[in-house]
Structure 1
Amino acid sequence: MSRADDPAADDPATDDPATAWRRLAALTPARIALGRAGSGLPTREVLRFGLAHAQARDAVHLPLEADEVRAGIAALGFETLPAASAAPDRTTYLRRPDLGRRLDEASTAALAAAAGDPVDLALVVADGLSARAVHEGAVPLLAALKGALAGSGWRLAPVVVATQARVALGDAVGALLEARAVAVLIGERPGLSSPDSLGIYLTFDPRPGRTDAERNCLSNVRAAGLKPDLAAFKLHWLIDQALTRRLTGVALKDESDRLLAGAGGSKPIVGASRPYPPPAAGDGSGARWNPEEI
Structure 2
Amino acid sequence: MNEQLVSMITQLVVEKLGNNVSDKSTNQTTVDAEEPKDTLIKFYDTATSQQEEVPSLIQTNEPLIKLYHHESFQSEGSHVQANYFDPPFNGAAIQPFSFEADEVSESVQAAKQHTPARIGVGRAGTRPKTKTWLKFRLDHAAAVDAVYGEVTEGLLQNLNVFQVTTKVTDKEEYITRPDLGRRLSDEGKALIQSKCKQNPKVQIIISNGLSASAIEENVQDVYLALQQSLSNLNIEIGTTFYIDKGRVALMDEIGEILQPEVIVYLIGERPGLVSAESMSAYLCYKPRIGTVEAERMVISNIHKGGIPPLEAGAYLGTVVQKILQYQASGVDLVAKEG
TM-score normalised by L of structure 2: 0.66
Cα distance in 1 between the residues matched to 2:135 and 2:158: 33
- Corresponding position of 1:202: 283
Query: Does residue 197 of structure 2 align to residue 110 of structure 1?
Result: no
- Corresponding position of 1:157: 238
Displacement of 1:17 in angstroms is 4.3
CA deviation digits over 1:16-35, x for unaligned, max 9? 74465345324421110010
Alignment size in residue pairs? 236
1:159–1:115 distance in 2 versus 1, CA, 3 Å:
closer
- Corresponding position of 2:122: 35
2:230–2:236 Cα contact (<8 Å) kept? no
Displacement of 1:86 in angstroms is 0.9
Cα distance in 2 between the residues matched to 1:96 and 1:117: 30
Cα distance in 2 between the residues matched to 1:117 and 1:50: 47
Q: How does 1:208-219 map to 2 (within 5 A)?
A: 208-219=289-300
1:117–1:19 distance in 2 versus 1, CA, 3 Å:
closer
Displacement of 1:233 in angstroms is 2.7
Cα distance in 2 between the residues matched to 1:187 and 1:116: 25
Displacement of 1:92 in angstroms is 0.7
SS in 2 for 1:179: coil
1:171–1:182 Cα contact (<8 Å) kept? no
SS in 2 for 1:58: helix
1:116–1:34 distance in 2 versus 1, CA, 3 Å:
closer
Displacement of 1:139 in angstroms is 0.5
Please tell me the residue identity of whatever aligns with 1:33. G
SS in 2 for 1:72: helix
1:217–1:24 distance in 2 versus 1, CA, 3 Å:
same
Cα distance in 2 between the residues matched to 1:22 and 1:151: 44
Q: Out of 72, 88, 111, which is 2:158 matched to?
A: 72
Displacement of 1:112 in angstroms is 1.8
1:125–1:223 distance in 2 versus 1, CA, 3 Å:
same
2:295–2:330 Cα contact (<8 Å) kept? yes
- Corresponding position of 1:21: 108
Cα distance in 2 between the residues matched to 1:31 and 1:165: 32
Structure of greater relative contact order (alpha carbons < 8 Å, 6+ residues apart):
1
- Corresponding position of 2:262: 181
Please tell me the residue identity of whatever aligns with 2:314. F
> In terms of Rg, which structure is larger?
2
- Corresponding position of 1:51: 138
1:174–1:207 Cα contact (<8 Å) kept? yes
Please tell me the residue identity of whatever aligns with 1:231. A
1:144–1:189 distance in 2 versus 1, CA, 3 Å:
same
SS in 2 for 1:53: helix
Cα distance in 1 between the residues matched to 2:259 and 2:236: 11
SS in 2 for 1:124: strand
1:47–1:85 distance in 2 versus 1, CA, 3 Å:
same
- Between 18-27 and 190-199, report the one with greater CA deviation: 18-27
- Corresponding position of 1:91: 172
- Between 142-151 and 99-108, report the one with greater CA deviation: 142-151
2:165–2:184 Cα contact (<8 Å) kept? yes
Cα distance in 2 between the residues matched to 1:182 and 1:142: 13
Cα distance in 2 between the residues matched to 1:116 and 1:160: 11
2:202–2:236 Cα contact (<8 Å) kept? yes
Displacement of 1:253 in angstroms is 3.9
Please tell me the residue identity of whatever aligns with 1:158. T
- Corresponding position of 1:277: none
Cα distance in 1 between the residues matched to 2:225 and 2:236: 18
- Corresponding position of 1:191: 272
Please tell me the residue identity of whatever aligns with 1:70. L
CA deviation digits over 1:157-186, x for unaligned, max 9? 111101011111122223312211101000
Percent identity between matched residues is 32
- List runs of 5+ in structure 1 lacking aligned partners: 1-15, 75-79, 255-269, 272-294
SS in 2 for 1:189: coil
Please tell me the residue identity of whatever aligns with 1:68. G
- Corresponding position of 1:146: 227
RMSD over aligned CA atoms reads 2.1
